[in-house]
Amino acid sequence: MSQELDLPPALRPEVEAARRHVSLSPEIEARVMAAVRRRAAPPQQRAWRWLTAPSLPPWSLLAAAAAALLAFVIFRPASVGSPGVASPRATAVGPESVYVRFILVAPNAREVALAGTFNGWDPATAPLSRADTAGTWTVTVALPVGQHQYAFIVDGRRWVPDPAAPAVDDGFGRKNSVVSVSAAQGRIL
């Protein structure tokens, strides 16, 4: 306050003008911000700066590496690792799949579907078609290499194992049929 009193009278209007709030129009603000964004570093550069900005003492990286290694050892997926002494297992799993034709003779059925481990037990994904007037129903499905359990669903409610395939208990008091697709020569067991 005392400084203002010391100002020469000629400067006082200039000081008053400088104290007044200046507001920019929205158009100017948008243009300025657009120019700022154009000059900003590219995303990769910003990410690198974010990663490398120092925030911890050097020993923390060692602690983090140890924690990561420990977490990996504890939680690693079972499939990680090299072939064992007696288990060269690389050939059994792969992207190969084999077309398998399923057949059920059900003369009185109105609809038949196929459900199994290969389609998440979802009958809607594999309906069978009636192949002839004798009641033969078929569907062809691409199965990945491996072993699969399945059953037919007749008329949406009756679960029927495949009479032409081996079967195992399903754990619920019924039977599941089993089909094994091998990478060796595209064979079905």
Partner 1 sequence: MNRRVAWVMLAMALGPELAAQGDVTARLAGRVPPPIAAAVSALADSARARGLPVAPLVDKALEGVVKGVPADRILPAVRTVLDQLDAASAALRGAGVTPAGDDAIEAGGFALAAGLTPGDIGAIARSADRSHPTAVALQVAGALAAMGVPRAQTVGLVRGAIQSGRPVGDLVSLPGQVQAAMARGAPPAAAAAGLERAATAHQAPRPHGQGKGEGNPHKP
Query: Which positions touch partner 1 (CB under 8 A)?
Result: 50-58, 60-61, 63-65, 67-69, 71-72, 74-81, 84-93, 115, 117, 120-123, 146-147, 149, 159, 164, 166-172, 174, 176, 178, 180, 182, 184-185, 187-189
Nearer to partner 1, 110 or 157 (CB): 157
Q: Closest Cα partner for 67 from 78, 56, 77, 75?
A: 75
Nearest approach in angstroms of CB 3 to partner 1 is 46
Using CB atoms within 10 Å of the CB of residue 180, give its burial: 0 to 12 exposed, 13 to 18 middle, 19+ buried: middle
Nearest approach in angstroms of CB 108 to partner 1 is 21
Q: Look up residue 83 and give its DSSP letter.
A: -
Nearer to partner 1, 26 or 84 (CB): 84
Nearer to partner 1, 44 or 185 (CB): 185
Nearest approach in angstroms of CB 109 to partner 1 is 18
Nearer to partner 1, 36 or 59 (CB): 59
* DSSP output for 5-64: HHS-TTTHHHHHHHHS-----HHHHHHHHHHHHHHSPPHHHHHHHHHHS--S-THHHHHH
Nearest approach in angstroms of CB 91 to partner 1 is 5
**What's the CA gap between 80 and 103, in Å, rounded?**
38
